[in-house]
Structure 1
Amino acid sequence: MPRVLLLGIDPRAVPGMDGAAIRAALDQELARFSEHAIDASMTLIPLDESADAPESAVVAALSEASWDVVVIGGGIRKPDPLLPLFEQVVNLVRRHAPKAAIAFNTSGGDSVEAAQRWL
């Protein structure tokens, strides 16, 4: 069974967002992977004052398993102020999961399709 890791921003850490509703939608997408016989896990990166928090969360998740695909969510990629975090995440995936393909979703609702492009 293929293994996929989803990396995204913890929606509860983003001011002005309904973190609970977004988290519920992300959990629904995560559950959709099993319908496609894909073992998936999700790590939501905290956005706090600790400079080490994002790196620690990503490295811990990447070290949990041998991943076939790592999907990097739009919440990490799209906001211009998070460009340094996006670069950091891509380089951490390259370093800690060198055999994994890297995929990008367009929203929290098409992560399965993003992963399937590389499986």
Structure 2
Amino acid sequence: MPTILVIGFDPHTIPGFDPAPVAAGIERGSKLFAELGLTEDLFLVDFTELGGPAEAKLTEKLAGKQYDAVLVGGGIRKGPGLLELFQTVVNLVHWHQPDAAIAFNDSPGDSPDWVLKALEQRRKR
């Protein structure tokens, strides 16, 4: 059973943001992972801890066990002013999970589709 790490923002920690739609999407994505027989490990970045604390927690998570795939959520890479965070996350995944497939999504609900595509690409290597 493949193990997947999903990295995204905790929508409840973003100031002035309605967390309900994203939280519902994350829950839908988690259910789809389970239906597909994929074990999901969710790592939600606290928006108020950007920089040192968030990076240290992610590094610890990535070093804790081997994942078959790591998905970096859209909020991490699409948000204005978050390019440095996105680059840091991708590099941490690359350094600590060099054998894992890396996937990106458009929304939490399509995460399983992109993870399956990334796993398939990894198998073909």
Give the TM-score, by structure 1 length.
Answer: 0.91
Structure 2 residues not aligned, in runs of 5+: 120-125
1:46-79 Cα offsets, whole Å, 9 max, x none, are 1225631221221122123211110000100011
Counterpart of 1:55? 55
In 2, the alpha carbon distance for the partners of 1:44 and 1:58 equals: 9
Distance 1:64 1:17, change over 3 A: same
Counterpart of 2:122? none
Tell me the CA shift for residue 15 of structure 1.
Answer: 2.0
- Greater share of helix residues, 1 or 2? 2
Q: In the alignment, does 2:51 pair up with 1:81?
A: no
Over aligned residue pairs, what C-alpha RMSD do you find?
Answer: 1.5
Per mean C-alpha deviation after superposition, the further-off stretch among 52-61 and 88-97 is: 52-61
Spell out the pairing of 1:22-101 with structure 2 (5 A cutoff). 22-48=22-48, 51-101=51-101
Counting matched residue pairs gives 119
Structure 1 residues not aligned, in runs of 5+: none
Counterpart of 1:13? 13
Tell me the CA shift for residue 23 of structure 1.
Answer: 1.8
What is the aligned-residue identity percentage? 39
Do 2:105 and 2:111's aligned partners in 1 also have CA atoms closer than 8 Å? Answer: yes
* SS in structure 2 at match of 1:42: strand
